[in-house]
Amino acid sequence: MGKKNDYLGLPVHSLKGVGPKISILMERKGIKTIEDLFYFLPIRYEDRRHLRKISEIKEGEKALIVAKVVASKSLFFRHFRKKAYEAIVDDGTGSISVKWFQWISQYLKNVCRKGNILLLSGMVGKFGNRLQMVHPDITILEDENEIEAYKAIVPVYSEIEGLKQGTLRNLIKRAFEDYGGHIKSIVPAEIEKLYGLVPLYEAFLKLQFPDDDVSSQTSSLELLTSLRHRYLERLIFEEYFLFQLALLMKRGEVKKEQGINFQAKGAYYNRFEKGLPFKLTSAQKGVLKEIEGDMVRNEPMNRLLQGDVGCGKTICAILAACIAIDSGYQVAFMAPTEILAEQHYLTIHRVFEGMGIPLTFLRGNMGKERREVLEGIKKGKIRVAIGTHALIQEDVEFEKLGLVVIDEQHRFGVIQRKLLKEKGSGVGGQRSEDRVRGFEGSRVQGEEVKDVPVDFQLAIRNPQSAIHSVPDTLVMTATPIPRTLSMVVYGDLDVSIIDEMPEGRQKIWTKVFLDKNKNTVYGMIEEELKKERQVFIVYPLVEESEKVELLNAKEMAAYFQKSVFPSYRVGLLHGRMKAEEKEATMFRFKNRGIDILVCTTVIEVGIDVPNATMIIIEHAERFGLSQLHQLRGRVGRGLHPSKCILITSEKKTALATKRLKVMEETTDGFVIAEEDMKLRGPGDMLGVRQAGLPHFRVGDIVKDVNIMIHARKVAEEVMHKFTADDVVKINEKVMERWENNIHFSDIA
Ligand code: ADP
Ligand code: MG
């Protein structure tokens, strides 16, 4: 920061009137630069043109008064069982009572300190025979005359401790006078015109200094508020536009690399497709078209495939693998855990073995055999290698790797994906042979997925070929997220969506039960067990401090075994177990060595147990809908009808119960994801509150979705118009704004 000519990036103390003391106060509020100050927008406006005297105001009207606090105290209304805070204010013509209920903060008490002069705006009411205002908008004034000097519609800012509103207002004004001329949009002028966007400077100006615009007596606060909307949208657009440009540039970088021109579908592809015992859904066909289109193109594919569990993603990935193999290339297939990798291996083995395609499962503990297998991959004898992410982490050498399929399942490992970087080879213009691609580790409700590497290296060696072509990448995820959100999270990837289930798939019967009806649920469990089916019982993670309140998986497993289902085998699976223990337990469950598996969310990862037909989720209100949907996907994977039971306590709010009802109504992961996002916000929904989403200054990802879509569209249109100089500047801006969130290659 603080580059030449970057006036907006100057620290706030560059401003006359801002010394070290005010600097510190501002910094506490996140205001460091002149630009931050411009972005510190009013939270509301106050019409100070029509000040009233207390002696004139009447019950039932809205009024603005200036008065001095003469007394204040806490109250308790026994009758309503309500706490309140009251201040008596006087303006020389009379006095009224001002009251606040609930949230009574120290801040409020400070505001109401005796002697303070307050500007109060609100509805006039009556309590007994005294006039009162309840929860008025309130501003501390420096003195009684301040209002006379500034009779206008004024901006009101979120409180900065130790800094008066009037002072702040003057400082922002000064910043505008001194530096406002340097406000410059990254949106090209002709595009602003084309889309009717007001100039950025104007948007800031109108938001910060409304009185310039509505000084006439006829303008109303309402009019102002509606205008504000338009100017705010302009700022949001600016922010989203920059963000989308960043993602597109990032994507463009990948596309510039030398990829592989695969041939169109060949013999293996056709043979595999013909052999399928079912017809592909039209969603699958569409996706395959997109994948094939990418693969035959010279640019490396960088595609994300989203779709609910069981929608047929793996089949699509196998068909993509066929395209690579048809063209004489190798395929690497990776999953986050060994058990999932093995599952993939078994599926793929079934089809490729018969087609004469040599493949291998690179296990963790292979012993001596490993060398031989590695040799086979290096020599190209083995065409498909399946394993965990260690597959590419540990310098496995391929003869001719063409396609990497990554099964991310539910984990949003892709979110903080750093851009694949090339380790410079030193020789001018030559491609390096390694690509480094970082994936951030993720947490599942606090349970660390320990067996997944946080960062891994994609070390690809094609010793035989002179040019090192970058293989195509296909990432699969079974966690649908709202389309608009995927534009933010996966904006640098091409996204394919399968939003259709194969025909004849049975819906998982889902029902919300109250705690007190647990016995009914136990009866239902018993019915399943009698049919020799298996059951999952899931508990939320237990934090130490909550132990008393929540049922703990461990204790419940013991209880079920001893007191409820003594003649069945109860198993336990939780995140604190060692990886090998977990895998062993899962393996036993899969092989019917366990009837009831009591577990925490560790089972979320796409484990396939076709004989499990029932899942019970305790304290269901503690989970996000998307997570419940993931959990529900653990059943219904075989031929038998399956059930999902969500248990919640009657003590929980109506809202919590209503939320759970969404699960009864739909099994569409995208619908559930939308609901989840509306209810919990995008960060929480993804379970990546701390690490995940980029922070936006003015935009709200949920509310301002349409602006994001628009920004994306415009960014795509104008991408090519930027000069190299522009790109450098844009890059700098992006780094300043989101350096921790989007990792950007050096474009210049
Ligand atoms: P995902 O990877 O999305 O969870 P899979 O590709 O594993 O889904 O498919 C789930 C199951 O559905 C598999 O048994 C697969 O053979 C089957 N399947 C896939 N596509 C279809 C289809 N179009 N019609 C019927 N069954 C299908
Ligand atoms: Mg290609």
CATH of the domain at 296: 3.40.50.300
pLDDT at residue 458, as a whole number: 33
Residue 676 in any domain: the answer is: no
Residue at which a domain ends, from 125, 151, 177: 151
Which ligand number lies closest to the CA of residue 301? 2
Q: Which ligand 1 atom minimizes the distance to the CA of 318? A: 6
- From 593, 630, 579, 589, select the one nearest 612 (Cα to Cα): 589
Over range 223-227, report the average pLDDT: 70
Residue at which a domain ends, from 129, 151, 173: 151
Residue 461 has pLDDT above 50, yes or no: no
Over range 341-353, report the average pLDDT: 89
Residue 708 in any domain: the answer is: no
Q: Are 586 and 520 in contact (CB under 8 A)?
A: no
Residue at which a domain ends, from 443, 468, 498: 498
Question: Do 272 and 412 share a domain, yes or no?
Answer: yes
Name residues with Cβ closer than 5 Å to ligand 2, which is an ion. Answer: 259-260, 295
Residue 691 in any domain: the answer is: no
Hey, is 90 helix, strand or coil?
strand
pLDDT > 70 fraction of the chain, expressed in percent and rounded: 82
Question: Do 517 and 413 share a domain, yes or no?
Answer: no
Ligand 2: centre distance to CA 321 (Å): 12
Q: Which ligand 1 atom minimizes the distance to the CA of 280? A: 23
Residue 719 in any domain: the answer is: no
pLDDT > 90 fraction of the chain, expressed in percent and rounded: 37
3-state helix, strand, coil in the chain (%, to 5): 40, 20, 40
Question: Do 463 and 588 share a domain, yes or no?
Answer: no
Cross-strand bridge partners of residue 535: 596, 614
Protein residues with CB under 6 Å of any ligand 1 atom? 278, 280-281, 284, 307, 309-315, 478, 502
Residue 632 has pLDDT above 80, yes or no: yes
Give 48 or 115, the one with higher predicted confidence.
115
Ligand 1, atom 17, lies closest to the CA of 312
For a mutational test of ligand 1's pocket, the pick from 273, 274, 306, 315, i.e. the residue with the most ligand atoms closer than 8 A to its C-beta, is: 315
| Residue 432 binned pLDDT confidence (cut-offs 50, 70, 90) | very low
Q: Are 70 and 95 in contact (CB under 8 A)?
A: yes
**How many structural domains compose the chain?**
3
pLDDT at residue 468, as a whole number: 61
Give 538 or 540, the one with higher predicted confidence.
538
Question: Do 494 and 518 share a domain, yes or no?
Answer: no
Which ligand number lies closest to the CA of residue 320? 2
Rg over alpha carbons for the chain, rounded to the nearest Å, is 31
Quote the Cα angle for 246-728-185, to 5°: 70
Question: Do 357 and 471 share a domain, yes or no?
Answer: yes
The β-bridge relationship of strands 82-90 and 62-77 is antiparallel
pLDDT at residue 428, as a whole number: 26
pLDDT, tens digit, for every residue of 513-531? Answer: 998 999 999 999 999 999 9
CATH number, domain with residue 132: 2.40.50.140
pLDDT, tens digit, for every residue of 306-344? Answer: 988 889 999 999 999 999 999 999 999 988 778 788 889
Give the domain range for residue 534.
508-666
For a mutational test of ligand 1's pocket, the pick from 314, 505, 605, i.e. the residue with the most ligand atoms closer than 8 A to its C-beta, is: 314
| Residue 445 binned pLDDT confidence (cut-offs 50, 70, 90) | very low
Burial of 623: CB neighbours in 10 Å, binned 0-12, 13-18, 19+: buried
With residue 614 as reference, give the H or E element that holds it.
strand 612-617
Ligand 1, atom 15, lies closest to the CA of 312
Q: Are 409 and 478 in contact (CB under 8 A)?
A: yes
pLDDT at residue 452, as a whole number: 28
Which ligand number lies closest to the CA of residue 262? 2
Question: Do 559 and 640 share a domain, yes or no?
Answer: yes
Ligand 2: centre distance to CA 242 (Å): 28
Q: Which residues contact 613 (CB under 8 A, 6 or more apart)?
A: 528, 531, 533, 534, 535, 635, 636, 638, 640, 641, 642, 643
Distances (CA, A) of 277 to 135, 229, 280, 636, 640: 68, 56, 10, 19, 19
Question: Do 452 and 575 share a domain, yes or no?
Answer: no
The β-bridge relationship of strands 44-47 and 153-156 is antiparallel
Q: Which ligand 1 atom minimizes the distance to the CA of 407? A: 2
| Residue 433 binned pLDDT confidence (cut-offs 50, 70, 90) | very low
Question: Do 307 and 451 share a domain, yes or no?
Answer: yes
Residue 304 in any domain: the answer is: yes
Residue 624 has pLDDT above 90, yes or no: no
Question: Do 445 and 410 share a domain, yes or no?
Answer: yes
Question: Do 470 and 337 share a domain, yes or no?
Answer: yes
Residue 169 in any domain: the answer is: no
Question: Do 464 and 488 share a domain, yes or no?
Answer: yes
pLDDT at residue 743, as a whole number: 40
